[in-house]
Amino acid sequence: MKRKGAATSVAEKKSHINATEVASPKGYKQTKVGVIPEDWEEYRLKDVLNLTLKPLKMEDEKEYELITVRRRFGGVDSRGLFKGKEILVKNQFYVRENNFVISKRQISHGACGLVPKELDGAIVSNEYNVFQPNIELLIQEFFNYYVRLPKFSQTFYNYSDGVHIEKLLFKTQSWLKQKIPFPPLKEQQEIAQILTTGDKAISKQEALLVEKEQLKKGLMQKLLSGEIRFGAATSVAEDNATEVASPEWEEVRLGEVATFHKGKGISKNDISDDGISCIRYGELYTKYNERVEEIISKTSIEKENLFLSEVNDILIPASGETAIDLATASCVLKKDIGLGGDINVIRTHHNGIFLSYYLNIVAKTKIASMAQGVSVIHLYASQLKSLKIKLPSKQEQQKIAQVLTTADKEIELLKKELEALKEQKRGLMQRLLTGEVRVKI
């Protein structure tokens, strides 16, 4: 009998810890790989994946389709058709539909995936391992989703020896000894169907987005070149635009219709969580498009020490890594935004949104050709002042800007909906593939 006040023994402490660890929710069990549903089984990877390499003797003049595997579980892709004599790595292997392919060199980057139907019979070099999933234990469509789980990707890292091809980069046999939990086949099938439905919704949304972007691209070309014109009383709706040959737009130099200013330095260290909204030059070609409505950065610099925007200001970077980066115009739709150094600020009574679209589409190559420099490229106000542009009436500028703004807002909405679908699918994958949420069988 333990006396009062006696110290708890190591064995008692260990027993208490173990009792806590094995406590699992109803319907779940504690295993070496974690808490999993009671009817899930742990399998060694070598039980569910059979290493399969089918050597190929290539013929010089015969064409072969080579495959590659994208990083971050991006799947298997074709590299194109090549004649045997054009393929540098001569040790090649055939792959079949639903083979599981792993890159030996980029395994720490999650370069793996299942071979799609359209690449059945393609070839892959000996820089990859090729496995055939055991269909008695795995539904292949389920496994294609399972390998994208962060939890599964972690299984690679302990078996990679670096980033040099000279090393044994992937210890295949050691990796295959690991245990992984899998649901029964019927549940795998149901999970795969749910996630496939999610993928179809994403693909449909992506196709809709591409279609809308293509329509906008064609519309911009016609509106900004004057191929499609608006009459004096024409509605701004795209369907009411009418094609006319005249009158001609007025050709002017940008310096004749605008004044030029320069932003004032805002360093990376000046960015803060609170303070005055600001724009730095690098954000113009990485974060913003023709319309700047929502400002993403703030600065701790006092207002009186900043160069502040006016509504309708057009911003063009004054320095960057490439000339084409500098040929980027954005119209600020808010007043008193701090504008950082290396920003050309163009102020005009013409429509800033119209001019931003025009400069980005019609005049982009001209602006890029003006830039100077080698390691750092510069674009000066004196150069932009000489740029020749063609302007319609202010009324027509406004109508064109409204049409293109409407198109952009529709595209932005489609992008948000697409991201919501992707986020929904990511959440479903995490919950369904780990057994956190069960499907009814």
**What CATH number did the domain enclosing 438 receive?**
1.10.287.1120
Residue identified by tokens 């094609």 is 243
> Do residues 193 and 271 both lie within one domain?
no
**Residue 276's domain spans which residues?**
250-391
Q: What is the CA 364 to chain-centroid distance, rounded?
A: 25
Instruction: Assess contact for 117 and 132: CB atoms under 8 A.
Output: no
Does 314 fall in a domain?
A: yes
Q: For residues 388 and 408, give the distance between their C-alpha atoms in angstroms, rounded to a whole number.
A: 26
> Do residues 279 and 343 both lie within one domain?
yes
Using pLDDT thresholds of 50, 70 and 90, give the confidence band for residue 315: very high
> Do residues 176 and 293 both lie within one domain?
no
Question: Pick from 151, 182, 213: which residue ends a domain?
Answer: 182
> Do residues 86 and 189 both lie within one domain?
no
DSSP character at residue 329: -
Under the phi-then-psi rule, with left for phi > 0, alpha for psi from -120 to 50, and beta for the rest, what region is 72? Answer: left
| 3-state secondary structure (DSSP) of residue 176 | helix
> Do residues 406 and 416 both lie within one domain?
yes
User: Per residue in 334-391, pLDDT tens?
Assistant: 999 999 999 999 999 999 999 999 999 999 999 999 988 878 889 999 999 999 999 9
Q: For residues 340 and 201, give the distance between their C-alpha atoms in angstroms, rounded to a whole number.
A: 42
Using pLDDT thresholds of 50, 70 and 90, give the confidence band for residue 309: very high
- Peptide bond just before 133 cis, omega within 30 deg: no
Instruction: Assess contact for 292 and 279: CB atoms under 8 A.
Output: yes
> Do residues 113 and 125 both lie within one domain?
yes
Does 136 fall in a domain?
A: yes
Instruction: Assess contact for 99 and 120: CB atoms under 8 A.
Output: no
For the domain that residue 130 is a member of, what is the CATH number?
3.90.220.20
| Closest C-alpha to 350, from 254, 225, 234 | 254
Q: For residues 211 and 87, give the distance between their C-alpha atoms in angstroms, rounded to a whole number.
A: 37
Using pLDDT thresholds of 50, 70 and 90, give the confidence band for residue 53: confident
Residue identified by tokens 């000066």 is 380
> Do residues 295 and 172 both lie within one domain?
no
Residue identified by tokens 């023994």 is 9
Does 240 fall in a domain?
A: no
> Do residues 151 and 135 both lie within one domain?
yes
pLDDT of residue 15: 36
Q: Which two tokens stand for residue 223?
A: 């509106």
Question: Pick from 162, 182, 202: which residue ends a domain?
Answer: 182
Using pLDDT thresholds of 50, 70 and 90, give the confidence band for residue 236: very low
Q: Which two tokens stand for residue 198?
A: 């999610």
Does 171 fall in a domain?
A: yes
Q: Which two tokens stand for residue 73?
A: 């579980």
> Do residues 306 and 410 both lie within one domain?
no
Does 24 fall in a domain?
A: no
> Do residues 309 and 419 both lie within one domain?
no
> Do residues 261 and 358 both lie within one domain?
yes
Cα dihedral: 98, 100, 103, 106 (round 10): 100
User: Per residue in 121-158, pLDDT tens?
Assistant: 898 888 888 899 998 999 988 988 888 887 777 777 66
| 3-state secondary structure (DSSP) of residue 265 | coil
> Do residues 255 and 370 both lie within one domain?
yes
Beta-sheet pairing, 377-378 with 319-320:
antiparallel
Does 244 fall in a domain?
A: no
Question: Pick from 372, 391, 410: which residue ends a domain?
Answer: 391
Q: For residues 180 and 115, give the distance between their C-alpha atoms in angstroms, rounded to a whole number.
A: 22
User: Per residue in 408-429, pLDDT tens?
Assistant: 999 999 999 999 999 999 999 9
User: Per residue in 265-304, pLDDT tens?
Assistant: 898 899 999 999 999 998 998 899 999 999 999 999 999 9
pLDDT of residue 125: 84
Does 147 fall in a domain?
A: yes
Does 235 fall in a domain?
A: no
pTM metric for this prediction: 0.76
Q: How many domains does the chain have?
A: 3
Q: For residues 191 and 134, give the distance between their C-alpha atoms in angstroms, rounded to a whole number.
A: 18
Q: For residues 148 and 130, give the distance between their C-alpha atoms in angstroms, rounded to a whole number.
A: 17
